[in-house]
Amino acid sequence: MTGTVGVLALQGSYNEHIAVLRRLGWKGVEVRKPEQLNDLGGLIIPGGESTTMAKLAEYHNLFPALRDFVKTGKPVWGTCAGLIFLADKAVGQKTGGQELVGGLDCTVHRNFFGSQVESFETELSVPELAEREGGQPTFRGVFIRAPAVLEAGPNVQVLASYSFPLSKPSTTDSSVVEEGKVIVAVKQGNLLGTAFHPELTADTRWHSFFLKLLTPNGEEASTSAAGPEKPDRIDLPVFVD
């Protein structure tokens, strides 16, 4: 099943990821139990409410299996809450915190961009994505109660950053957060993390980028991977505590 991608299906936008995988000609399967990780070619941890997802993962005893999967070297992609899961360290958490899978050498602020009403869309500069997947040099980032990477290790490749209003509090003391700028997409070996939701746009380039990590010699994931010039606008889902 090396051509099969698992999508953690505890909560959040897992159906949307599976739909994009289907568009690109790949099989996506829902993962809720440790044994369902066996023989997968890769894994997507979707966006949702990270604390709720962590509690459900703990209930199903998924954390040891998820950590083992990351250590296999198979590609794993975390979007929004999934990025939090993959980070080695998370700040801005609720009382008591939450368990993490880890693997990405970075510190993530769990709710950097604020509450649900502060969710937004913006054009992100993505030169690496455009070079590999074609299409426009920008990507429409959908941020829903999104995290951000505050610190990244030397082996972490920054794929996208976002310039935020200078009034944004308590962020400029980080060693890699320039004044008014924060990291929102990273790659480290087999691990990919995005603070935004590519699955909620019509542009499939991030999925194609991820799928090429599963294929030898970077073979094409799909001829439609570059996506449309102007992705369709869709309504944002509501994720609540």
Catalytic positions = 80, 197, 199
Tokens representing residue 124 in the block: 């992100």
Q: For residue 27, how many C-alpha atoms fall within 13 Å in the half-sphere facing its CB?
A: 8
Residue 43's DSSP bridge partners are: 6, 76
Residues 37 and 65: beta-carbon distance below 8 Å: yes
Give how far Cα 233 sits from Cα of 45, 114, 201, 203, Å: 23, 22, 7, 10
**Residue 94: CB partners within 8 Å, gap ≥ 6?**
51
What SS3 state is found at 29? strand
CA distances from 239 to 61, 93, 144, 180, 185 (A): 23, 16, 8, 27, 21
